[in-house]
Structure 1
Amino acid sequence: MPYTAHDTSTVLPALPALSAQAERLIELGVHGIAGLSADEIRTFAAEADGEGALLAVHHEIAPASALAPLLRRDGKPGFVVVDMPDVDEFTPCAVELPDAPLYVVTGVDRGDHMGNWSPEEALPALTKDDRTPLLLTEGIHWVLQEPAVLERNRCFMTIGSRLRKTNGSLDARTPAIWISNGTGRDGRERLNAPKVGWCWWNNRHTWLGFASTTGRRS
């Protein structure tokens, strides 16, 4: 299955300027979660070269478990599925991150055209096109800045984050961000809420693309 970057039938909203993204993170209290000052985030955004890029906070200081509840859809907060208590142990796998608390993610794509691919099929196609999959925390940052990128039947996986077991092998779960149907252990009160969950490495889902980037820089 050949991969063509940005081959999607949906035009996604453009990301705000980095300065506006900084203010959004400050408004949500992400700087406090990360142990940064508001001025640090504002200064980085003012000095960074990143038109059209996503402002991200390093996963080690702003983990997914702390960011997910900040998501909102239909007035409902985001959540992590109950069978993913180890969500913060899903760390970068074959992804080079800047050694800095703040960085920008360029050329973000939701990968709609890769719906009904498995993670096992998607990863080599992304790599061949010189793209890398988003981390889970980067995907959450994207939805925090542009909630409209999370749509029913057009959600996405973030397979740049993987859990490595004590024996060195990779856990078969792969993280994703989608919208709850309010069924099962989610609870009816979470209908339409943003949801951080997982899918199996070899499974396909028609409604999940594979979010990716052209690069990261501090």
Structure 2
Amino acid sequence: MTALPVAACPTEAELEFDRQIDALALTGLPEHLDLAENCFRASLEPLRDLLPPVRADRPGPGFVVVVPHLPVVPVLESVHTVGGAGFTTMADDDLARFGPLPELDIPTGPYLLLDVDPGADTLNVPPGEVLPRLTAAGRSPLTVAEGLAVLVSDPGVLRGRNCFSLAGSRAGDKRVPALWISARRPRLGWCYQGAPHTWLGTASCAGRLGDPPLA
């Protein structure tokens, strides 16, 4: 009698990957990107081969799935906490001015953000002072799209850990976008690069995996 093949059990990383894809789909991203949901999910599937193992010695899953060029306001408003939906008071044309720093070499398609740190050790330190430290440590500041991906993957991150600046996106001036809690709701706004805030760190990651991969 021929033995039936044994189905492979998904790894902890694969289960986390599937959970994050479900969360992204629930934001309405497939519709906003004019994709059928199955096509949206298929576009992210190649990232499964790049998943790092989930490690017990660090907080969080070790990776966050990012879709670049996502519609900021609809995704932000899809995230709900105890106080209600995420929001911003920034005008659409002002938001559009904030783009990734060229030196970050962001992958062109969906990618994995590795070892995200919301920056608890940089609380009350101006983002402008944190950036050289990150570079020296071989880390990279997060962009607006990456910050939203972190928020979608864990809506409680701003309360459970700390609020954070997204110094990887800039508008050519002294402003730095940031995510924080306002009226118990996630809020996207900005602070000046030289201004310290006791409740605001600067988020960073260890790297990005996607197409093209970073050198």
TM-score higher than 0.5: yes
Residue by residue over 1:35-55, the C-alpha shift from the partner in whole angstroms, topping out at 9 and shown as x without a partner, is 342332452343332442100
Residue by residue over 1:27-75, the C-alpha shift from the partner in whole angstroms, topping out at 9 and shown as x without a partner, is 222222233423324523433324421000012xx13223211121115
Which runs of 5 or more structure 2 residues have no equivalent in the other structure? Answer: 1-12, 54-61, 211-215
CA–CA separation in structure 1 for the residues paired with 2:185 and 2:174:
25
Aligned pair count reads 186
Aligned with 2:199 (options 185, 201, 207):
207
Tell which structure's C-alpha radius of gyration is larger: 2
* Other-structure match for 1:29: 28
CA contact (8 A) 1:19 1:45 kept: no
Aligned with 1:89 (options 92, 97, 118):
97
* Other-structure match for 2:136: 128
CA contact (8 A) 1:104 1:217 kept: yes
The within-5 A match list for 1:68-217 is 68-74=76-82, 76-82=84-90, 85-93=93-101, 94-100=103-109, 102-151=110-159, 154-163=162-171, 170-180=172-182, 191-217=183-209
Distance of aligned partners of 1:71 and 1:39 in 2 relative to their CA distance in 1, 3 Å threshold: closer
CA contact (8 A) 1:67 1:137 kept: no
* Other-structure match for 1:17: 16
Identity %: 32
Structure 2 residue identity aligned to 1:200: Y
- Aligned residue for 2:118, secondary structure, equals coil
- Aligned residue for 1:138, secondary structure, equals helix
Distance of aligned partners of 1:50 and 1:153 in 2 relative to their CA distance in 1, 3 Å threshold: closer
- Aligned residue for 1:174, secondary structure, equals strand
CA–CA separation in structure 1 for the residues paired with 2:14 and 2:136:
26
Structure 1 residue identity aligned to 2:118: R
- Aligned residue for 2:104, secondary structure, equals coil
CA–CA separation in structure 1 for the residues paired with 2:95 and 2:174:
13
CA–CA separation in structure 1 for the residues paired with 2:88 and 2:193:
19
Distance of aligned partners of 1:119 and 1:39 in 2 relative to their CA distance in 1, 3 Å threshold: closer
TM-score, normalising length from structure 1? 0.78
Which runs of 5 or more structure 1 residues have no equivalent in the other structure? Answer: 1-13, 164-169, 181-190
* Other-structure match for 1:184: none
CA contact (8 A) 2:81 2:156 kept: no
TM-score, normalising length from structure 2? 0.79
CA–CA separation in structure 2 for the residues paired with 1:152 and 1:21:
18
